[in-house]
Structure formats: C-alpha cells, structure tokens
Structure 1
Amino acid sequence: LHLDLPVRELVASGLFLALMNEGFRRTVKRLRACGASARSFRFCATAQFLTDWCVLLVLVHLTGGLSSPILAFFVFHAIIAAILLPPVGSYLHAAAGVFLVCVLAALEGIGLIQNRPVPSLWHVPHDEAVPVATALIAFATLIGGANHLAGSIARRLWARTREAMELKEKFAAEAARLRTLQEVASAVNSTLKLEDVLARVLDSATKMLRGKAASIRLLSDERTTLRLAAATGLSQAYLSKGDVEVEKSPLDMAALEGWAVQIPDVEASEALQYREEALREGIRAIICAPLLVRGRATGVLRLYCVHPRTFTKEEQTFLVAIASIGATAIENARAYQRLEQLESAKSRFVYQVAHELKAPVAAVRQMLSVLDSGLAGDLALPQRDLVGRCIRRAAELQATIDDLLALGSLKQRLPEGKLVPVLLREVLEKVMERVSTEAAEKGVEVRLKCSTPGLVVKADPGDMRTLFGNLLENAVKYTPPGGKVEFTATQEADRSVTIRCSDTGIGIPEEALPHLFEEFYRAPNAKQAHPGNGLGLALVKRVVDLYKGDIAVESKVGEGSTFTVRLPGG
C-alpha cells in the first residue's frame, strides 16, 4: 500500500512531541524535589495536555483532517484527562480538543489551510458543510461521552482510593499511638524515680499529639488544689503563677470527673483559672486528661498548643490512656519513695540503737573479762564455763554491733574526699593475716595470686578492708577442714580491677542467690553450719555500690563459691 504522506513533517512533529514530553518529565522531577504545591503540578499537567492537543491537531491536519485516523487519539486523551484531572478540568480539556478540531475543519473548509487527503476507512469531504458538521457532532459526542464515562468510573475509583488511604492513615496513626503507649508503659515502668516517670510521660504526650508543652498537676491531700509536679515547654513565669484551685477551674474540675476535656480556643473560653497568663504564654488550645488510679483521680495531665485546635476523639482517647499509664507509674514511684523513706528511717533507728549499745556491751565484756581472769575472786569450774559462754556471746553481739555501725556509716556517706591510691596486694595480705589463726586451726589453706604487681584502686583503705575482709572471713568460716580459699587479682584492658574470692566450702543454694546481699539474710545451709548475723555480705554489696563496681556470685552446693568483684582502676 503506497501512501503519499508528508513524512518529514510527521517525523518533525513526533520529535517535537517527544522533546516536549521530556521537558515536562524533568519539570515534574524538579517540582517533586523542591516540594512544590499541588497547584504547580496541575498547571504542569494542563500545559502538557494542551501541548499534546496542538501536536495532535497538526498530525490530524497532515493525515487528512476529519478523515484522519489520528482523531481517535483525541478520545484517548480525553479519557486520560478524565482520570487524572478534576471533573471541571477534564470537561474543559475535552471542550478544548473539540474546539481545536472545529477550528481546523473550518480553516480547511474555507480554504485558508489546504486539506491533505489520504486513503482511509472513511472519507469526510472537507468542503461540504453537512458531512463536516455531522462528523464534528459525532466527534464531540464521542469525546464528551468517553470523558463523562471515564470520569464517572475514575471518580468512583478515586473515592474508594481516598477511603482506603484515609483508613490506612487512620490505622497507621492508631498503630503509632499503640506503639507509643507500649513504649511509654515500658519506659515509665523501667524506673521508680518519680522525676524520670513524669518526664517520660510528658515527653511522649507532647511528641505524639504535636503539642507545644505539657504539664502534670497532682491533687493535694484536701483535693482542693492542683500542685505542679512536672512540666515541659513552659516558661518559669507561667509556672510560677501558683497552684490551680479546682473550684475556679471548670476545665480541671470536669477532667477530674474521669474524662478528657478540651478548650479549642483559650481566648474565647472562661473555663480556665489563669486565662490571661495562658494567653501571654502563647497558649491557644488546651486538652486535659485525668490521672486515674483504681478509678480515683489523683491529678491531671495537660497538653498545650500554640494555635486554636479541636482534638479528635482518637487523640482524646490516646491522652486518657497515656495519663492512665502515667498515673499508675506515678503511684508506684510514690510508693517506692515512701518505702525508701521507711528504709532510711529504719536504718537510722538501727544505727542509733547500735551506737547506744556499743558502750554498755563493751562494759559488759570488760566485766566478764575481769571475772574470767580471776581478779574478782576464784571461780568454780561451772562458773568459769558460764562466764566463758557469756564472753563468747558478748563477742558475737559486739561483732553484730560493729557491722551495724559500719553499715550505717556507709549508708550515710559518699566516698569523695577520702579517696587515696590503695595497693590491693597490701589490703589482701592484711585481711589474710586477720583470718590466718582461724584458717590454721581449721586446716584451711588460704592463698593469694596477684598476676599484675602494683594493682591500685582509688578508695578509702578502710572500705577495702571491710569489703575483702568480710569476703575472706565468710570463705574461711564456711569452708570445712582441709579445704582451700584463694584470692586472685587481675587488671582488665579497660584498667578496671577484678578480684575473685574462691572457696571449696558448703556452697549456696540457687534459691538463696537473689537474696544473698540483703541485710540479715542467711542461706538455710549457712544457718545450720555457723552462727552469724547476715550483715557481712550486705556490707560487701554496699561498698561495691559505693565505688560504682559490680559483684557476681557463682556457687554449687557442696562444691564451693566464687565471688567476683570488679572495681574501677586507680
């Protein structure tokens, strides 16, 4: 089939269209890179459609005018416009295409533009009005119908797509809130320090709900005022305005009933006690949620925003949930504080009692020594035996008093100011001398291995003697005759010092290991083997903690134990 087509003009039109489309592609890429608005993208799309219309119009003219098969591409473009553009935009583009074809037909019909007929499946005489009008009406109807049908389908699809995207965003937001709640629960339950708990609750609420600031206020014992417990993002001037009186703050009064309450626009609301101060702070919206513990409000969590804002139900529910988690954590932290205060009071009481007993027990021991020595007169054998028993019991009581005083002294001070370089070998040798007599009587071999000479820790020498003396005394005490006790000291790569005290003693039951360093605790087999007060290892742990060290225990019943102490190097 030989067709007399203007090849050069067609090729030139095709190249021009390709170059224009490449230019539009690069333009869109730049718009995306710079984060342009949707309006810019719509303008670019409109320009591309109009360019395509014009090029198509040239191709239609070159291939027979209204008889050109390329007219079908106008329909294709109208369908694409209906899919990609809003309804009004798509109808305008379809109308523009019809208008351009009508102009071309008119210009060819009056002879201003020469018609270039080519063989085709249909032929429309360009100089006869009725066939041209019929063809144009059919063309306009086809484009309009295709545009309307495609647009209707596209709009339904876009509506479904938008619904799906909204659901996806909603689910993503809910998932993010759940993750945040889980993280908050994990974070606040990982510490019992009230300040840390409050800070983590405020930080999580502010970040998740995109607020400017947040605060937590706790109810007074009389439940009439809300006192500031913690805040973030607020100026000192605003924080120093005073406590919130519940009766003067409808916002907090309603929140204390058990639900989230919001003020979308502070300027237009009278539900806030310190409204003028809030406006000066730049606060324009507030949401308040109750801190509930077992159904009872103990305070409120407030979130502040710098612009008027209405919080969604999901955001309100989230804030109530995070406030509930925070309330439980706050209650736990406060309970822990009370326990610490009781523990501190108990320790002070025990320390005071031990201090008061020190002098009377010393006097009793002195009198018993006088009796035992015969200076107060000769004693019969039964009497001497009774006095000897009293002397041993008094010595045990004195040892307990000394341990209590040492423990109380350690609890009430920090080591700073008394730190000097301490040679570990000298300390270990001195504590070995202290138990050498008992070890020799039992036939227990005590050895020291110090692989690195000159090992030094910066500490109070008395603390080091307490630490290693108690470890060694326990090892010798609970090691049967013929056993071995060994001290080893090494320096690690990070300059820390590791000391191990190993024995072949009675060992420690596995269930006793978690309680080993508690005051007055003794393992069941230790109670059966020897008398004691359960303070030695508590002293050891306190000294290790005082110097920010670590202690670990490995033990098997009937085989022995190994205590590993790691201290920062000097």
Structure 2
Amino acid sequence: MPQADIRYVPDSDTLLREAHVYPPHVALLYTDTPGAPLSQVLGILRQRSELLSTQWLAVGTQGLGELLVAGADALISDSSPAEALALQVGTMLGRAQQHRDTLDRVANLQRRIDDLEHEERVRDQLVHMLVHDLKNPISAVMGLLEVVDDDSRIPKDARELLKVARDEAQHLLHLTVNMLDVRKIQAGKMNLRRELMFSPMFAEVIEQARGDVGSGLRDRVITVQVAQNLSPADADPEILRRVLANLISNALKHTSSGGQIAISVQQDGAEAIRISVRDNGEGIPADDIPNLFAAFEQSRLTLHGRFDTGMGLAFCKMAVEEHGGRIWVESERGHGAIFSLVLPLAQDSDDEDDFVELLS
C-alpha cells in the first residue's frame, strides 16, 4: 500500500509505550509478536482516548479468539494472500477516517453548544441586571407621581396627565418584572411557596391583583365571583396574584372605556379549581391563539396599540404549569375572550387534617 505510512513496532511492550504517541489509523497485531500477551496490551490500549479512532486488525493463526475478545475489530489469517490483507487494511482505513470525521463533528457541535450556553448565560445576566436597574427608578417615579397627585393644588386637567403617567409607569414595571420571572422559570429558579388557599384567600389575591393593575380599571365594570366553601388548592399566593394581574391587565388592554371584565373562581370537578377572566372586548383572531402564550408574541388586534413583549402571558403559562395546572383561552372575533386556568386541589396530608381540627 504505497499511500500508507507504515511504522514497525518490534514487540508488544514498545507498542504499549508508543502507540498513543503516534496514534495509528490501523494497527496490525501479529499473534507471534514478542513481549507481553497482546490480548492484555490491547485491552489497555483500547481505553486510551488518543486511540479511539484506531482500527485493530489481528493477524495470525493462533490466539485470534483471545484478541477478538480483547477488542480486535477484525481478524485475518497470516496465510491469506497479500491482496486480501491490503483490501482489509484499506477497508479499516476508511472506517478509521469516518470515525475521526465523526469525532470532529461531535467536537465542533460541543463547542457550538458551549458557545450557545455562554451566550445564554450572558443574556440571562444582562436581563437580570437590566430588570433590577429598572425596577428601582420606576418604583421611585410611581411614588413621586402619587405624592404629586395628592397635592390639592394640582388642576384637574393635570391630574388626568398624572393618571396616564402613573398607568404607563405601572405597565413598564409589569414588563420588567415579567421578563425576570420568565427567565427565572426557564432556568428552574422559581421556587414556589405553596399554601392552602381557601375561598377568602382567593378573594384577597384577586383584590391585590386588581390593585397591581392600577387606575386603568376605574373606567371598566369589574365583577368578581368567588364560590364559597371551595376545596383548598395548593398554590403560591404571590405568584397567583401576579398571574391574575397579568390576565386582568390583558383584559384591560383589549377593552375600551366602560368595558366589562368578569373574574370567577369555582370548583372544577373533584380535583381542581378553575379561575376565569372574561372580557367583552374585541376578541382574539383565531390565527393568534396558538402562539398567544409564547414569549414575544401578542395578539395583533388591540384597542390601544400599546407595546408589549408578550412576556405576561408567557409567565402565566409557565407559572400555572409549574403548579401542575394548565391555562387556555377561548375567544371569538368581536365577542371578547375568556382566559381560564385550573389549579390542582391540595393533596390529603397531616397538615390539612390538623387545619380541619383547628376549625372544628
């Protein structure tokens, strides 16, 4: 084989010392090679990372079976014609090249994965820093606007401008917090602080969520219906409050002044609590619904043209699923929308039994 670069090794001990220094593409192991048993040497060589692509061809008449067990890739008798040996070596050279090419592709893919993971970490850190840097000044602006609004010297027309400024600041705060929350859930860093939630707590969380949405709800007709004596759900009240704030804010965005928003909490069979937020706004186009809960997606049909990252609904979906529940939307163009979510009921536990005893 004139194209081959052949290196002669006199004994198995030299092969053991030098094979990884000059990794061969194909190694011919003659069974009568002096030195340590080739079956033992081959077992050691096959564990070396430098020789992963090497093809091992056992040549001889006796001891071929032992070499096969030790890891030889092929066997051939030393009495075979030279042409047969050359053909076998040529085939194994091709296999070795394919293996090296595969290892190169894997290494390139791994480097690409490492680069992508590094970019993702940098992006997460940037989002985290950005959100934290924005939250404090936005909160300060909202506080100052409230102080100014309490001043009796402010004329009526200026108060309307203050209301708009406060609502927009509240909206900006929601955008930043939702971005951070979505990244936390994606990174598996959103730790739920679950509590047993009964009817009164659901009513309290809804009231808090309405307050979070801001003064924009003043010119909407809001109705809240919480069924009495609900079986307890096992949920994080603070996370649920933010989910509801996003759903109410979404309903506000899709309704005009005087629009109706209805919030209800009721038992859904024997295993879940259903929470619904219904509005009588313009509805959502059918083509938008499949991607509505994806980040950076929002309905193309809105009444206010306000920019939104779509992170709010993405957060809702991730947070509800983190609870073991699900969320969906039903809408018909021109007939409003209903966003519904179900939360599983709390499982029976000793803690719940103790709570019942305290009430009895």
Report the TM-score range of the alignment, normalised by the length of the smaller protein: 0.5 to 0.7
> 1:341 and 1:278, CA in 2 relative to 1: closer, same or farther beyond 3 A?
same
Q: C-alpha distance in 2, partners of 1:551/1:529?
A: 25
- Normalised to the residue count of structure 2, the TM-score between the two structures is 0.58
- Alignment of 1:357 with 2:357, yes or no, is no
RMSD: 4.9
Out of 313, 333, 351, the position equivalent to 1:557 is 333
| Structure 1: gaps of 5 or more residues | 1-244, 252-260, 270-274, 290-303
Higher relative contact order (CA 8 A, sep 6+): 2
Out of 421, 434, 446, the position equivalent to 2:195 is 421
Matched residue, 2:302: 526
- Alignment of 1:310 with 2:70, yes or no, is no
Matched residue, 1:288: 53
- Partner SS for 2:196: strand
Matched residue, 1:441: 219
Question: AA paired with 2:264?
Answer: F
Matched residue, 1:475: 251
Q: C-alpha distance in 2, partners of 1:288/1:382?
A: 80
Matched residue, 2:349: none
Q: C-alpha distance in 2, partners of 1:507/1:555?
A: 6
Question: AA paired with 1:357?
Answer: L
Q: C-alpha distance in 2, partners of 1:344/1:512?
A: 31
- Partner SS for 1:250: coil
Q: C-alpha distance in 2, partners of 1:307/1:276?
A: 10
CA offsets 1:446-490 (integer angstroms, 9 cap, x no match): 44458x821322x43212222233224323542454545353544
- Partner SS for 1:524: coil
* 1:381 Cα offset (Å): 7.0
- Partner SS for 2:264: strand
Matched residue, 2:206: 432
On the 8 A contact 1:455/1:491 being kept in 2, the answer is no
- Normalised to the residue count of structure 1, the TM-score between the two structures is 0.40
CA offsets 1:40-87 (integer angstroms, 9 cap, x no match): xxxxxxxxxxxxxxxxxxxxxxxxxxxxxxxxxxxxxxxxxxxxxxxx
Q: C-alpha distance in 2, partners of 1:317/1:556?
A: 62
- Partner SS for 1:526: coil
Matched residue, 2:292: 516
Matched residue, 2:239: 463
Larger Rg: 1 or 2?
Answer: 1
* 1:524 Cα offset (Å): 1.4
| Structure 2: gaps of 5 or more residues | 1-17, 34-38, 55-67, 76-87, 347-360
Q: C-alpha distance in 2, partners of 1:505/1:523?
A: 13
Matched residue, 1:543: 319
CA offsets 1:293-333 (integer angstroms, 9 cap, x no match): xxxxxxxxxxx963433188999989988997897688667
> 1:513 and 1:325, CA in 2 relative to 1: closer, same or farther beyond 3 A?
farther
> 1:530 and 1:318, CA in 2 relative to 1: closer, same or farther beyond 3 A?
same
How many corresponding residue pairs? 291
Q: C-alpha distance in 1, partners of 2:272/2:107?
A: 37
Out of 250, 273, 283, the position equivalent to 2:23 is 250
On the 8 A contact 1:487/1:500 being kept in 2, the answer is yes
On the 8 A contact 1:449/1:489 being kept in 2, the answer is yes
Question: AA paired with 1:250?
Answer: P
- Partner SS for 1:422: strand
Question: AA paired with 1:544?
Answer: V
Identity of aligned residues (%): 21
Question: Is the helix fraction higher in 1 or 2?
Answer: 1
Matched residue, 1:397: 172
